[in-house]
Structure 1
Amino acid sequence: MTNYSPEQVVWTQSLREAFGESVELQDESGQTEVFDIAAEFEVDGVGYAILVQPDRKDEEYEVLRIVKAGDGSLELATIDDDEEWENISELYDELTFPEEDEY
């Protein structure tokens, strides 16, 4: 997996169009949690979602892959590849907190 630059990002709205401003996710134990969609974008044709819990906006965010199911519906998938997760997380940080130009 390569490192991506902000110029490669294509902002999307597919999750918001399908689900609104938030989504419900179920963890391994069956507990359901609500997450706000902070951002969604594509890089090299792969969709990613940045999700935050409404009561924890200042804490860590979730990075998930947006996958189109066989019936055309959208699903969210965990990113199992640590390098991919790290690259997308760093890219989102760059997009959200651009470095200040040094003078």
Structure 2
Amino acid sequence: MADFSVENIVWTQVLKEAFGESIELEDEKGQVEVYDIAAEFEVDGQGYAILVQPDRMDEEYEVLRIVTDPDGSLQLATIDDDEEWENVSELYDELTFPEEDED
């Protein structure tokens, strides 16, 4: 299992380099939604993307896996493992909202 700690993060830009600042995702009903790429990083070689809808910046974000197909194309995949999703989400929160140092 991956060690989901700040020390193990490698920041990446693969989605932004491939798609720009935003990406369109299609849901199971065929509806297309636009998301901003808030962050991309790898933990133990597995890529993750944090996506937010531009008009809902203060609401929940999407946490997805970045998967590279054999042909080199990028895909975003839902994280089915609840523990993995929770670990990535907590890690992003830790990076985004660092705790204040106690004096």
Looking at structure 2, the residues matched to 18 and 88 of structure 1 have their Cα atoms a distance apart, in angstroms, of: 22
Looking at structure 1, the residues matched to 62 and 28 of structure 2 have their Cα atoms a distance apart, in angstroms, of: 15
Identical positions, percent: 80
Alignment of 1:60-75 (within 5 A): 60-75=60-75
2:16 equivalent in structure 1: 16
Question: Aligned AA for 1:63?
Answer: V
Which stretches in structure 1 are left out of the alignment for 5+ residues? none
Residue 50 (structure 1) shift: 0.2
2:5 equivalent in structure 1: 5
Looking at structure 2, the residues matched to 2 and 9 of structure 1 have their Cα atoms a distance apart, in angstroms, of: 11
Alignment of 1:1-103 (within 5 A): 1=1, 4-103=4-103
Which stretches in structure 2 are left out of the alignment for 5+ residues? none
User: Structure 1 segments of 4 or more deviating over 2 A?
Assistant: none
Alignment TM-score, normalising by the size of structure 2 = 0.97
Question: Cα RMSD (Å) of the superposition?
Answer: 0.9
Residue 2 (structure 1) shift: 5.1
